[in-house]
Structure 1
Amino acid sequence: MTIAVLALQGAFIEHEQMLQKLGVHTIELRQASDLQKDFDGIILPGGESTVQGKLLHALNMFEPLKEKIESGIPVLATCAGMILLASDITEQDESYFETIPMTVKRNAYGRQLGSFHTNAEASGIGEIPMTFIRAPYVESVHTDTSGNTPEILSIVEDRIVGVKYKNQMAFAFHPELDQDTQIHEAFLGMIR
């Protein structure tokens, strides 16, 4: 099994280290040609969603990556990755891949002071540590044209911080920054 990690900016190395700990081969997506390689799943890491969005367009990676996601390849998105997948972003006109019908609020907990750590339940996974760094959260989930609504996986302080929709799991926090491997294992389980 090979997992492709978007490696343009942000916390991608930590995801690679987490997967290597689980014995999984990783490759980095740094240019359009990398999307031609064989891989079984994609990780969209935390970082700056605006910067990642601009780089994806500048490197001609945006459309091919969106097509892969829409064609059903399993995706794990964390923090900025969650923003990239959202159909709507509060107080922002444009969105990115728009592959999960939900409205996300960026930097929802404030800037650096809005970083915190907690333990909470993730549906189907169990109690896990959650590290939030300038994190977004999901304001609302929507029903798509086929009548499907994202499943809410986790709520912290009455805010949605984890969702699953078809082939995509998205979390507002950074599971790659804790030692707990359950989120990555659940993602690998989706692929198997």
Structure 2
Amino acid sequence: MTVPRIGVLALQGDVVDHMRALEAAGAEATPVRRASELDAVEALVIPGGESTAMSRLLEVFDLFDPVKKRLDEGMPAFGSCAGMILLADEVLDGRPDQRSFGVIPMTVRRNAFGRQVDSFETPIAIDGVPGGPFEAVFIRAPWVERVGAGVRVIGTVEAGAESGRDGGEGPGGRIVAVRAGVCLATSFHPEVTPDARVHEYFVGMVRGANAGPVEQEERGTPE
């Protein structure tokens, strides 16, 4: 089985833990700080951190447009927390000059679950990730308030699992994990736990994308 080479955007945020988790999931992980490094990878992880800082640094390092081009061309991507915000096509409570890649049709609210002191952990079931509930860690996390056509909700938390504001609730609670084709996004930080199942799921997505078209059931269904 071919080992996929997956980059981790290494401008700011939790880079090292994502690389560790990708290696545990059977991928070759490499940091991406410039366009030449982006050209050498099959997929990209956008880590948690501070989304406005990442947006600015992507411009400073002349990486925003190259990443956007690869994403528009179908490169698989996984965004956690701030990475989820950067993949969304609409961001609430962001800075006016903040840019996102807009490859997942969804509305994400920054810091929806509260401040750093409101961080929490809770087990959630993730559709497509076997082995029982995943212990999800939320740190100044966003949530998803709207999903568009082709976006599948794969993880929610019950309202009341945290001290956030009202809103962002899907059929099973607040939306915290989605998949749209070859893009995956979570509002929590799977990389800070020793459980590599979410990264294994993404590595499987990358392998599937390299093998041919994504199966229809994996693309999600329109609203």
* Range of TM-score over shorter length: over 0.9
Question: Could you tell me whether the CA contact under 8 Å between 1:87 and 1:95 is conserved in 2?
Answer: no
Partner Cα separation in structure 2 for residue 22 and residue 186 of structure 1: 8
Identity of aligned residues (%): 41
- Is the contact between residue 86 and residue 95 of structure 1 (CA under 8 Å) also seen in structure 2? no
**Structure 1-normalised TM-score?**
0.92
In structure 1, what is the equivalent of residue 82 of structure 2?
80
CA deviation map 1:112-142 (0-9, x unaligned): 1220001110011142110000000001112
- Aligned counterpart, 1:100: 104
Matches within 5 A, 1:41-190: 41-92=43-94, 93=96, 94-126=98-130, 127-143=133-149, 149-157=150-158, 158-190=173-205
Taking only aligned residues, the RMSD between alpha carbons, in angstroms, comes to 1.2
CA shift for structure 1 position 88: 0.5
> Who wins on radius of gyration, i.e. which is larger?
2
Structure 1 residue 10: deviation in Å?
0.4
String of CA shifts for 1:9-46, please: whole Å, max 9, x gaps: 00010011112223421111112322222x22110000
Q: 1:21 corresponds to which letter in structure 2?
A: A
How far is 1:50 from its partner?
A: 0.4
Counterpart residue type for residue 137 of structure 1:
W
Give 2:39's aligned amino acid: Q
Cα drift, residue 64 of structure 1: 0.7
Cα distance in 1 for residues equivalent to 2:46 and 2:148: 22
User: Aligned with 2:108: secondary structure?
Assistant: strand
> What is the CA deviation profile of residues 144-178 of structure 1, one whole-angstrom value per residue up to 9, with x for unaligned ones?
xxxxx310010112210000001100000000011
Higher strand share: 1
Q: Which runs of 5+ in 2 are unaligned?
A: 159-172, 208-223
Gaps of 5+ in 1: 144-148
The reply on whether 1:17 has 2:20 as its aligned counterpart is yes
TM-score, structure 2 as length reference? 0.80
What letter matches 2:199 in structure 1? H
Equivalent residue letter for 1:123: D
